[in-house]
Structure 1
Amino acid sequence: MADILIIEDEPMMRLGLKDNLEFEGYRIDLAVNGKEGYEKAIDGSYDLILLDVMLPELSGFEVCKKLRQNGNSTPVILLTARGEEIDKVLGLEIGADDYVTKPFSVRELIARIKALLRRVKTEDQGNTEDLEVRIGRLDIHFGNYTAADGDEEIKMSHKEFEILQYLYQHKNQLVSRYDLLENVWGYEEKPTTRTVDNFMVKLRQKVEANPNQPRIILTVHGAGYKLIY
């Protein structure tokens, strides 16, 4: 069963989540602020992180951003009381995999957790062939989520690997923004297509020899993207 780190400063919420998830069979670790949560997330080995946005010391956004910048690709579900679209988009753009807006039902949260863990497991099983490919400047190992430009390791978020893998699986084909939203994010409540475009900018900076004149990840105006391979 999966190991889940809950980073939540509200005692009742923290313990309520712990009790419900342990009842489902998950192994739970707890952190009460952003700093402690970040340190545990970096040092520990978790299958998923439940991360409150409004935290003392470091906000959830800051924790997620620092994790991704340091190459940690553990799936993250944001817990937020905010409902504004800009906050949801920001969370996804800095590398979160999903978000749940408070107040939420425990059943909904557990369904999101199971769906995300199932998706990650499916990706791992799909990479049993230990697939390594070269895409642009990068040597990509989808099986263990590593990327390198020669001898230099290139840090990429879990979501960036997912997007690049989906493009590779559909190489030389048109992939619409909605294809990516449906198959990579997979939400009933989807982020905006602008989120996809922002991720493509980041990927081009890592893949392309000249991101301003892309030759690998091409934009098909008004339609989507195409990975040339």
Structure 2
Amino acid sequence: MKILMIEDNPSVGEMMDMFFQKENWEAVFIQDGKEGLERFLKEQDQWDLVILDLNLPSMDGMQICREIRTVSASVPIIMLTAKDTESDQVIGLEMGADDYVTKPFSPLTMIARIKALHRRADLNAEEPKKRIDSSFDIETTYLKINKKTREAFLYGQPLEGLTPKEFELLYTMAKSPKQVFSREQLLSLVWDYEYFGDERTVDAHIKKLRQKIDRNGPQVIQTVWGVGYKFDDSEVER
């Protein structure tokens, strides 16, 4: 795995470097925001994961995350935020980050988050098609999804710009239309962790996913108050 960590505290980088080496992961550490973005853009196809601090010299993490998502919807991004900045955490997720870790953090927690992201990616790559007679793994009334090509079509038009976690959320719920998923279930199924998950992660990604769905037509992700979320396009009127 090749990781780009944009973090202006050298002691944090040095600490994580030791843990990355134990995992046999290659990491590049950059302390300046603008320089970090330029490095990503220069070698964007080489990175398996980006760890991005919120507060950086020359360009902050929100801007960097937004710029990365304009050129890559697939690279996983973990945002580092201060413990008392809940709004920044939610905004970071809405900008396209897949997860966040609050400072100060345990290196073991960071390693677990990284492994969870890539465990999901590996499972997605290995998952066989459930319908060998169709190019789509899921076909509902208005939605079609091809898991292998990571394509989703809603109302006959492609759903553009889905991040990896947005795609997984849609896929997970659309596999079982009308089933209500709690936030805890979605954390387990999509993020692959339970005991240190945060329900705000789910809410922020659902909000962003809905915004992209709205560009295609009527909303198909419904809130079941007090329980969670479900996918249902069976009664959509167009």
- The 1:153–1:220 alpha-carbon spacing in structure 2 relative to 1, beyond 3 Å, is closer
Aligned residue identity for 2:61: G
What pairs up with 1:18-167 in 2 under 5 angstroms? Answer: 18-42=17-41, 43-44=43-44, 45-126=46-127, 131=136, 140-147=145-152, 154-167=160-173
Deviations 1:57-98 (A, max 9, x none): 221122112222333321111122343322222222222122
178, 188, 202: which is aligned to 2:211?
202
- The 1:205–1:147 alpha-carbon spacing in structure 2 relative to 1, beyond 3 Å, is same
Aligned residue identity for 2:168: E
Aligned residue identity for 1:163: L
Task: Figure out how many residues of one structure are paired with residues of the other and give that number.
Answer: 223
Matched, 1:228 2:233: yes
Provide the rounded CA distance (Å) in 1 between the counterparts of 2:77 and 2:164. 10
- The 1:220–1:100 alpha-carbon spacing in structure 2 relative to 1, beyond 3 Å, is closer
Matched, 1:170 2:179: no
Equivalent residue, structure 2, for 1:179: 185
Aligned residue identity for 1:37: G
Aligned residue identity for 1:217: I
- The alpha-carbon deviation at position 161 of structure 1 amounts to 0.7
- The alpha-carbon deviation at position 225 of structure 1 amounts to 2.1
- Taking structure 2 as the reference length, the TM-score comes to 0.77
Whether the aligned pair in 1 keeps the contact of 2:187 and 2:197 (CA below 8 Å) is no
Provide the rounded CA distance (Å) in 2 between the counterparts of 1:227 and 1:163. 13
- The 1:217–1:194 alpha-carbon spacing in structure 2 relative to 1, beyond 3 Å, is closer
- The alpha-carbon deviation at position 167 of structure 1 amounts to 1.5
Structure 2: gaps spanning 5 or more residues: none
Provide the rounded CA distance (Å) in 2 between the counterparts of 1:153 and 1:40. 29
- The alpha-carbon deviation at position 133 of structure 1 amounts to 5.1
- Taking structure 1 as the reference length, the TM-score comes to 0.79
Equivalent residue, structure 1, for 2:221: 217
Whether the aligned pair in 2 keeps the contact of 1:67 and 1:73 (CA below 8 Å) is no
48-57 vs 191-200, which deviates more? 191-200
Q: SS at the partner of 2:56?
A: coil
- The alpha-carbon deviation at position 140 of structure 1 amounts to 4.1
Q: What is the root-mean-square deviation in Å for CA atoms of aligned residues?
A: 3.0
- The alpha-carbon deviation at position 180 of structure 1 amounts to 2.5
Aligned residue identity for 2:198: K
108-117 vs 127-136, which deviates more? 127-136
Q: SS at the partner of 1:156?
A: coil
Provide the rounded CA distance (Å) in 2 between the counterparts of 1:199 and 1:153. 12
Q: SS at the partner of 1:19?
A: helix
Percentage of matched positions with identical amino acids = 33
